[in-house]
Amino acid sequence: MATFEFTVIASGLDPQADDFEARFYDGRCGDATVSYQNSHTILDFEREAQSITEAIVSAVADATAAGAIVERVEPDPLVSLSDMAARSGMSRAAMTNYYKGHRQEGFPAPKARVTTASPLWDWADVAEWLFRHGRISKEEALAAGVVSATNELLECGVEALPAMLEERARQVEMALA
């Protein structure tokens, strides 16, 4: 088994309730640190599982069983050049060279712009590209794809998250093959 670190962002519970933290710790979320910030319950997991998919599916199920409404899983899917550098262990200058096509072609296009000078990329797209160019491990790229797929499914209000996420994880893994 491996240990996977990720954060579940949820709502729907009163942080002032006497049993707020106990609901999570008594409900199989003992491997998470629970906090409340900006009207959201933050569950920082260090979950042991066979795969990142199993870890996330079980954490979402456990948080839901505790009464929370799971909104998303992090790390945040939108990343800056600095975020990419930190996640990949490379320098920001190296990421800039990839982005500008100075080192290799085909770097993913930004998905959003905070300002004209501050583009943001989808981490799953960047992670796949970095994996294909030997810069990060397959496991790191797979984790990025699974987090992205989880958030897409959560946005759609999918009830059958485990089965659908397992299928999406297989698709991500096949894309990385």
- Taking only the tens place, the pLDDT of each residue in 71-127 is 999 998 899 999 999 999 999 999 999 999 998 899 999 998 877 678 999 999 999
Residue written as token pair 């939108």: 78
Quick one: 14 exposed, middle or buried, by C-beta within 10 A (0-12, 13-18, 19+)? exposed
Position 160 scores a pLDDT of 66
Can you give the pTM of this predicted structure? 0.84
For residue 93 the two structure tokens come to 């200058």
Place of tokens 């066979």: 50
- Give residue 164's pLDDT band: very low, low, confident or very high (50, 70, 90): confident
Give the pLDDT score at 153.
Answer: 86
What single-letter amino acid sits at 2? A
Tokens of 88: 């990949």
Assign 159 a pLDDT band (cuts: 50, 70, 90). low
The pLDDT, as a whole number, for residue 59 is: 95
- pLDDT, residue 73, reads 95
Per-residue pLDDT band at 56 (split at 50, 70, 90): very high
pLDDT at 26: 86
Question: Hey, CA dihedral for 133, 176, 143, 77, is it positive or negative?
Answer: positive
Q: Take residue 73 and report the two structure tokens written for it.
A: 């899983």
pLDDT at 42: 97
